[in-house]
């Protein structure tokens, strides 16, 4: 612990904390995120190295790349709109059930002779409608998103069971299932990964490069301040839940294609991994902070982790324990880091009163 | 930090809470009334509803859910939520059955060990939320997966069947005193004890204080961390009791025992009039809510409707209950404001 190395960091954090209510200093926030993403990238590299070292003949093959990316595809796709919803300060627990409902309705319609193209359009519209239902109850009704989406978590899954019952629908056309587990010709890239990449790029640009994104961050940091400065918070929330429902339904279509089978219990328990991915990606559960690149990095990290564990024959039960731990740890670490840095900051202020007085000036100077 | 720990909420602090309290009292009465009507309807449609064996079955299952719901109500009263209830119940149920199967402990000691395990699991949740300040939703979503994972690891795909358990172990689930199942008496006792503690003890009032206004509670010198740790521990303890009873009632236990019960428990709590924004509601309501859900489930079976509707109904019950609460609170608040301005 050399003093010179520690000083700039502590000064930045110390200066940022008194002004947090008015919006944290941009520099400090960027630095915090950069550190988290660097840490994630290092963990990812470490695991890639571990995978390459422990099972070299399997891990680095194109086939394994396809397996690795395919396994968490639906989770990663649903994590993207979830990122926006958590940044705005809400949560959507119902995505796994919307995925199941989408799969069930798609299978049901196909079994009844409806063309698959029309079936896909219908389930996407249903996803939007389900999201609208969530969004209206939360934004217009003023109900907590946790309880509303816990309710629709049960409701959507129940409807999926009512529609399809315990049976599974298979015998989908080849063109459809090829989309699920086929790859872009000449590459090991599965088609769903292309879908994921497109959604990630679009949502990343919207969140980080447009006024919509700035409004989302503003609403997540301080809902009332955002409303008084002209952000239509309610309407934005409804739109985000519609997006989440639609993309969850799309994930249901992809899952159905990937397994070549439609089931009402598809995706059960997936919400845990979706939320873990988002929080591991550095998105604050309290809202107002997070990035799409961070979540994409977390998706890769979880995919590689799962792959390494599977190649090492670690049981599925241990993997689910690992994901649960990861979820908690990814919230505990930043919160501990903040507490430590605020303790360091206040200790510094106590030692050097003049610095504390000069702080507001320091904030505005850069 | 202060801004981060504050949960965004809808109602105003003073009037809204009092209104919600009034609704909770009304809720218990109207829920009881609704249940009488529903029971009468089912009894006319399917006379075997009133048979002793059916009534025992309904009330025994409902009392297990009710005990877990009492714990969940305590947690929700402090503006938190415990999603890991089903995993705690499942883990306790399996561990107790496993201890008995391999004759590790005699039945009473195994039961005590199971309840203690529930307490430890609940304390872990409390530590994560109260000490490490992890939001309850994240902490308990994580432990839901961890506890269930441990359950699967211990079970290793096997199950404990009735034949593995000591003779007579499952008898209490069917036993009655003066015609009332013992499980129901246990549930009533727990509801009454916790309701009395909430109403007349200092710790009980602290639970309401922390839930209705955390800032005011801390100004009054109430240590909200201790209260939150306490309610999560109590929730674990009660989930342990419910888990033991689950094992006794079903006899055959595998690693998926009690899957999906969290939804029923949360539904019982909100339908029983406990405010999801914390601070108002009673455990008596939560207990009645559990009985209401049990009645619906039984009605589906007796009226030969598809059991697949059950999940959708639980979801709808949660949504209707919270919407109704919000609607009523808003209406009453508006009426109160109008009266004041006149």
DSSP string of A46-82, one letter each residue: HHHHHHHHHSHHHHTSHHHHHHHHHHTHHHHHHHHHH
DSSP three-state, residue B166: coil
- Give residue B22's pLDDT: 67
- Chain B contacts of A233, Cβ < 8 Å? none
When pLDDT is cut at 50, 70 and 90, the band that residue B11 belongs to is very low
With b for 16 or more beta-carbon neighbours within 10 A and e for fewer, the A210-236 pattern comes to eeebebbbbbbbbbeebeeeebebbeb
When pLDDT is cut at 50, 70 and 90, the band that residue A184 belongs to is confident
- For residues B191-199, give the mean pLDDT: 96
* Helix ranges (DSSP H) in chain B: 2-5, 14-45, 52-77, 85-101, 107-126, 136-155, 182-200, 202-212, 214-219, 224-250, 261-271, 283-302, 309-341
- Chain A contacts of B141, Cβ < 8 Å? 271-272, 275, 324, 327
- Give residue A178's pLDDT: 86
Residue contact A324–B322, C-beta within 8 A: no
Residue contact A146–B138, C-beta within 8 A: no
pLDDT, one tens digit per residue, over B12-71 is 445 666 666 666 667 788 888 889 999 999 999 888 899 988 999 999 999 999 999 999
Residue contact A331–B134, C-beta within 8 A: yes
Instruction: Check pLDDT > 60 for residue A27.
Output: no
Q: Among B12, B138, B145, which would you mutate to test the A interface (most chain A Cβ atoms within 10 Å of its Cβ)? A: B145
Q: What percent of chain B has pLDDT over 70?
A: 93
- For residues A126-143, give the mean pLDDT: 95
- For residues B134-143, give the mean pLDDT: 93
- Chain B contacts of A152, Cβ < 8 Å? 315, 319
Contacts of A151 (CB under 8 A, 6+ apart): B315, B316, B318, B319, B322
The angle that helices A292-311 and A73-87 make with each other, rounded to 10 degrees, is 150
- Give residue B4's pLDDT: 38
pLDDT, one tens digit per residue, over B233-269 is 999 999 999 999 999 999 889 888 888 899 999 999 9
Range with the poorest average pLDDT among A273-277, A357-361, B165-169: A357-361
CATH number, domain of A76, equals 1.10.3470
Task: Give the distance from residue B182's alpha carbon to the nearest chain A alpha carbon, in angstroms.
Answer: 31
Task: Give the distance from residue A197's alpha carbon to the nearest chain B alpha carbon, in angstroms.
Answer: 27
Mind listing the domains of chain B with CATH numbers?
13-333 (1.10.3470)
Instruction: Judge if pTM exceeds 0.90.
Output: no
Of B142, B316, B322, the CB nearest to A147: B322
Residue contact A142–B326, C-beta within 8 A: yes
Q: Decide if A352 is inside a domain.
A: no
Closest CA to B244 of B97, B99, B109, B123: B97
In whole angstroms, what is the distance from residue B286 CA to residue B74 CA? 10
- State the residue for tokens 């949660």: B318
Residue contact A165–B144, C-beta within 8 A: no
- Give residue A62's pLDDT: 84
Residue contact A328–B142, C-beta within 8 A: yes
Q: Decide if A37 is inside a domain.
A: yes
DSSP three-state, residue A190: strand
* Helix ranges (DSSP H) in chain A: 3-16, 26-54, 56-59, 62-71, 73-87, 95-111, 116-135, 145-164, 174-181, 191-209, 211-221, 223-228, 233-259, 270-280, 292-311, 316-351, 353-364
Closest CA to B12 of B213, B153, B262: B213
Closest CA to A283 of A296, A269, A272: A296
Q: Decide if A297 is inside a domain.
A: yes
- Give residue B25's pLDDT: 66
- Give residue B24's pLDDT: 62
Q: Quick one: closest CA in A to B255, which residue?
A: A317
With b for 16 or more beta-carbon neighbours within 10 A and e for fewer, the B251-279 pattern comes to bebbbebbeebbbbbbbbbbbbbbbbbbb
Instruction: Check pLDDT > 60 for residue A365.
Output: no
The secondary structure element, H or E, covering residue B176 is strand B176-177
- Chain B contacts of A302, Cβ < 8 Å? none
Q: Quick one: closest CA in B to A92, which residue?
A: B137
User: In this predicted complex, what is the ipTM?
Assistant: 0.84
Q: Decide if A216 is inside a domain.
A: yes
- Give residue A34's pLDDT: 59
pLDDT, one tens digit per residue, over A228-271 is 998 999 999 999 999 999 999 999 999 999 999 999 999 988 99
Residue contact B311–A223, C-beta within 8 A: no
- Give residue B6's pLDDT: 40
Residue contact B133–A335, C-beta within 8 A: yes
Of A143, A158, A323, the CB nearest to B145: A323
In whole angstroms, what is the distance from residue A58 CA to residue B30 CA? 64
**Which domain range does residue A136 map to?**
32-342
Instruction: Check pLDDT > 80 for residue B172.
Output: yes
Q: Decide if A74 is inside a domain.
A: yes
Contacts of A319 (CB under 8 A, 6+ apart): A306, A309, A310
Of A162, A285, A331, the CB nearest to B309: A162
- Chain B contacts of A21, Cβ < 8 Å? 3
When pLDDT is cut at 50, 70 and 90, the band that residue A197 belongs to is very high
By the 10 Å C-beta count (0-12 exposed, 13-18 middle, 19+ buried), B102 is classed as: exposed
pLDDT, one tens digit per residue, over A33-50 is 557 888 888 888 988 888
Range with the poorest average pLDDT among A3-7, A80-84, A157-161: A3-7
- Give residue B278's pLDDT: 84
- Chain A contacts of B9, Cβ < 8 Å? 144
- Give residue A360's pLDDT: 40
In whole angstroms, what is the distance from residue B120 CA to residue A173 CA? 52
- For residues B109-117, give the mean pLDDT: 96
Give A26-32's long-range contacts (Cβ < 8 A, gap of 24+): A27/A366, A29/A289, A32/A334
Contacts of A147 (CB under 8 A, 6+ apart): B266, B270, B276, B318, B322
**Which tokens belong to B40?**
């009468």
When pLDDT is cut at 50, 70 and 90, the band that residue A357 belongs to is very low
State the average pLDDT for chain A: 84
Instruction: Check pLDDT > 90 for residue A188.
Output: no
Task: Give the distance from residue B296's alpha carbon to the nearest chain A alpha carbon, in angstroms.
Answer: 15
Q: Decide if A329 is inside a domain.
A: yes
When pLDDT is cut at 50, 70 and 90, the band that residue A189 belongs to is confident
* Count of domains observed in chain A: 1
**Which tokens belong to A16?**
């940022």
């Amino acid at each position: 612990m050399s003093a010179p190395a520690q000083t700039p960091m502590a000064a930045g954090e110390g200066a940022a904390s008194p002004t947090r209510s008015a919006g944290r200093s941009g520099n400090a926030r960027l630095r915090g995120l950069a550190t988290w993403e660097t840490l994630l990238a290092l963990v990812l590299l470490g695991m890639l190295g571990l995978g390459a070292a422990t099972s070299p003949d399997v891990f680095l093959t194109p086939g394994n790349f396809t397996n690795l990316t395919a396994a968490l595809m639906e989770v990663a796709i649903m994590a993207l709109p979830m990122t926006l919803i958590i940044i705005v300060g809400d949560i959507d627990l119902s995505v796994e059930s919307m995925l199941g409902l989408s799969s069930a309705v798609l299978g049901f319609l196909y079994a009844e002779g409806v063309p698959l193209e029309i079936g896909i359009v219908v389930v996407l519209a249903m996803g939007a409608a389900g999201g609208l239902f969530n969004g209206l109850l939360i934004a217009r009704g003023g109900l907590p998103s946790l309880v509303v989406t816990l309710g629709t978590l049960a409701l959507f899954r129940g409807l999926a069971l009512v529609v399809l019952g315990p049976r599974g629908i298979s015998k989908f056309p080849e063109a459809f299932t090829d989309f699920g587990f086929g790859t872009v010709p000449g590459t090991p890239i599965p088609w769903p990964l292309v879908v994921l990449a497109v959604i990630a790029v679009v949502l990343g640009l919207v969140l980080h490069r447009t006024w919509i994104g700035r409004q989302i961050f503003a609403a997540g940091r301080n809902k009332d301040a955002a409303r008084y400065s002209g952000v239509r918070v309610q309407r934005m929330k409804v739109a985000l839940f519609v997006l989440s429902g639609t993309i969850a339904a799309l994930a249901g279509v992809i899952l159905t294609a990937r397994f070549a089978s439609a089931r009402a219990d598809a995706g059960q328990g997936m919400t845990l991994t979706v939320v873990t991915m988002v929080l591991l990606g550095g998105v604050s559960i309290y809202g107002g902070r997070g990035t799409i690149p961070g979540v994409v990095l977390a998706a890769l990290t979880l995919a590689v982790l799962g792959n390494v564990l599977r190649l090492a024959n670690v049981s599925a039960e241990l993997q689910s324990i690992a994901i649960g731990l990861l979820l908690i740890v990814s919230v505990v670490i930043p919160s501990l880091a903040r507490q430590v840095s605020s303790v360091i900051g206040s200790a510094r202020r106590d030692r050097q009163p003049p610095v504390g007085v000069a702080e507001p000036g320091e904030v505005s100077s850069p | 930090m202060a801004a981060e720990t504050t949960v965004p909420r809808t109602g105003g602090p003073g009037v809204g809470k009092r209104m919600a309290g009034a609704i909770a009292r009304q809720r218990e009465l109207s829920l009881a009334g609704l249940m009488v009507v529903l029971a009468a309807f089912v009894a006319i449609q399917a006379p075997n509803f009133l048979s002793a064996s059916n009534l025992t079955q309904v009330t025994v299952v409902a009392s297990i859910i009710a005990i877990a719901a009492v714990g969940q109500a305590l947690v929700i009263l402090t503006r938190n939520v415990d999603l890991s209830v089903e995993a705690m119940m499942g883990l306790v149920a399996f561990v107790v059955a496993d201890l008995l199967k391999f004759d590790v402990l005699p039945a009473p000691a195994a039961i005590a060990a199971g309840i203690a395990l529930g307490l430890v699991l609940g304390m872990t949740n409390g530590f994560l939320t109260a000490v490490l300040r992890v939001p309850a939703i994240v902490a308990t979503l994580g432990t839901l997966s961890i506890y269930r994972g441990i359950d699967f690891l211990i079970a290793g795909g096997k199950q404990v069947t009735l034949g593995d358990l000591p003779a007579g172990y499952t008898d209490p689930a069917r036993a009655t005193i003066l015609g009332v199942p013992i499980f129901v008496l246990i549930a009533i006792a727990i509801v009454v004890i916790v309701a009395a503690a909430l109403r007349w003890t200092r710790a009980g009032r602290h639970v309401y204080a922390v839930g209705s206004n955390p800032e005011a509670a801390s100004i009054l010198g109430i240590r909200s961390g201790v209260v939150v740790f306490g309610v999560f521990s109590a929730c674990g303890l009660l989930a342990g009791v419910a888990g033991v009873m689950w094992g006794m009632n079903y006899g055959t236990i595998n690693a998926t025992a009690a899957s999906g019960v969290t939804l029923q428990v949360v539904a019982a709590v909100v339908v029983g009039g406990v405010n999801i924004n914390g601070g108002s509601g009673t455990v008596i309501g939560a207990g009645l809510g559990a009985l209401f859900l049990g009645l619906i489930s039984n009605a589906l079976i007796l009226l030969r409707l598809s059991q697949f509707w059950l999940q959708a109904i639980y979801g709808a019950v949660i949504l209707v209950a919270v919407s109704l609460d919000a609607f009523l609170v808003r209406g009453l608040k508006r009426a109160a404001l109008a009266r004041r301005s006149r």
